[in-house]
Amino acid sequence: MVRAIVGANWGDEGKGKITDMMAQESDIIIRFQGGANAGHTIVNNYGKFALHTLPSGVFYDHTTSIIGNGVALNVPVLFGEINDITSKGVPMPKILISDRAQMVMPYHILFDQYEEERLGKASFGSTKSGIAPFYSDKYAKIGFQVQELFDEEALKAHIARVVVQKNVLLEHLYHKPKLDEQEIFDTLMQYKEMIEPYVCDVSAYLADAIKEGKTILLEGQLGTLKDPDHGIYPMVTSSSTLAAYGAIGAGIPPYEIKQIVTVVKAYSSAVGAGAFVSEIFGEEADELRRRGGDGGEYGATTGRPRRMGWFDCVASKYGCRLQGTTDVAFTVLDVLGYLDKIPVCVGYEIDGEVTTDFPTTTRLEKAKPVLEVLDGWNSDIRGIKNYEDLPENCKKYIEFVEKQIGFPITMVSNGPKREDIIYRKSTLSK
């Protein structure tokens, strides 16, 4: 049985917590896309962790954690995270790395920085983790797969070809120091030493696991609106954030994915540039940012303050549809307990017309939010275990959102801890 956990919006929906929770009942957890450019925050008995590359199953001793072929593998970051968790008392996790995964090269990170510098104010708000240059090279067919580390002569020839091309850009476009072939080779040999014990033919491993009836969890990063095809292009990430891509980025048949849990946050937040229709500003935004998440809405990787907004039904309906959602996990609802009135964005007004269909980027830039104001519940809902025990207005908020987005909310998260979860039966059929 294969399940996926993905985000409906701009990321930071609280996927880490839901993954950690569902990982408990899984045998295998796989990262299938993205790299160290985003992070999950997980709070458990060992402490609070920001994971960027490790799958969220690493805290359990019964799980195998896999870096799939779709991931941008940053070897030093991966090992830094392993050292971090083991130094805090977490037992060494069982890890497998796909032999087809490609590696983030030190020069990818440099190119990311140089390009942001060159673009100045027109930059995309990259986290400068090398992700865009990495995926550009992958699709230009000049990236480095893990399996190449095991043929040194071929690897040297590959490095020589790439360096010629990169050095032209470094010298003439960026005016920066040139790359050295030997240095790159030496770095890759260090990477080889680090990852060799974990390298594996992951798709073959998963084919056997599926046959044996193992429970497999695909762990997505970011959300639908950051997908390069279906998101707010070009303010997107460089690999697909959709559950469908889980099949490709892990190497399994698409029809094996039986459950798609889309994580939706009870209000909106976004990082980086791009249209954000329900965005709020000033004191109103500051207060939500301060109270948001678990200790404020600041980037898990960058520490940047997140942009804040009211819940966006238009974006979330679209986000859930593209994921192929079977279940919605509605998170951080407890945070809204301080509000008397809660505005919700129920439509976009574009050129004088109201729509509930999420538009393409050019039209999105012109959209103004149509807000409906719901009554708040003015109380702390943390600790509540049963749906029936939630305040009336809180249930109304959940049911209103569910109706607007059209996908069943079957889980409500009312706190950062694994056990802060309320299961409910949705009246919507799947």
- Residues interacting with ligand GDP, by CB under 6 A? 7, 11-17, 39-41, 43, 293-294, 300, 331-332, 334-335, 413-416, 420
Catalytic entry in 12, 99, 312, 327: 12
Which C-beta is closer to ligand GDP: that of 229 or that of 380? 380
User: What is the closest distance, in whole angstroms, from the C-beta atom of residue 279 to ligand GDP in the complex?
Assistant: 17
Which C-beta is closer to ligand GDP: that of 67 or that of 270? 270
Catalytic entry in 20, 40, 112, 420: 40
User: What is the closest distance, in whole angstroms, from the C-beta atom of residue 305 to ligand GDP in the complex?
Assistant: 13
d(CA 53, CA 75): 9
Q: Which residues contact 128 (CB under 8 A, 6 or more apart)?
A: 109, 112, 113, 116
Can you spell out the DSSP letters for 43-107?
Answer: EETTEEEEESSS-GGGG-TT-EEEE-TTSEE-HHHHHHHHHHHHHTTPPPPEEEEETTPEEPPHH
Under DSSP, the state recorded for 305 is B
Which C-beta is closer to ligand GDP: that of 11 or that of 55? 11
For the chain, counts of helices (H) and of strands (E) = 12, 21
Which C-beta is closer to ligand GDP: that of 138 or that of 395? 395
User: What is the closest distance, in whole angstroms, from the C-beta atom of residue 39 to ligand GDP in the complex?
Assistant: 6
- Enter the tokens of residue 259: 């459950």
Q: Which amino acid is at 184?
A: I
Which C-beta is closer to ligand GDP: that of 72 or that of 300? 300
> What's the alpha-carbon Rg for the chain, to the nearest Å?
22
d(CA 240, CA 356): 24
d(CA 21, CA 219): 12
∠ CA 31-32-36, nearest 5°, is 60
- Enter the tokens of residue 305: 């303050």
Under DSSP, the state recorded for 176 is -
Nearest residue (beta carbon) to ligand GDP: 16
Instruction: Identify whether 420 is a catalytic site residue.
Output: no
Which C-beta is closer to ligand GDP: that of 281 or that of 338? 338
User: What is the closest distance, in whole angstroms, from the C-beta atom of residue 152 to ligand GDP in the complex?
Assistant: 38
**Number of C-alpha atoms within 13 angstroms, CB side, residue 36?**
19
CA dist 187 to 68, 86, 104, 107, 183, Å? 22, 24, 11, 11, 6
∠ CA 226-232-233, nearest 5°, is 95
User: What is the closest distance, in whole angstroms, from the C-beta atom of residue 133 to ligand GDP in the complex?
Assistant: 23
Which C-beta is closer to ligand GDP: that of 84 or that of 294? 294
Helix (H) or strand (E) holding 183: helix 181-195
Q: Evaluate whether 3 touches 15 at the Cβ level (below 8 Å).
A: no
User: What is the closest distance, in whole angstroms, from the C-beta atom of residue 334 to ligand GDP in the complex?
Assistant: 5
Instruction: Identify whether 12 is a catalytic site residue.
Output: yes
Which C-beta is closer to ligand GDP: that of 230 or that of 265? 265
- 52 closest CA partner among 16, 13, 21: 16
Q: Evaluate whether 167 touches 179 at the Cβ level (below 8 Å).
A: yes
User: What is the closest distance, in whole angstroms, from the C-beta atom of residue 7 to ligand GDP in the complex?
Assistant: 6
Q: Name the residues annotated as catalytic.
A: 12, 40
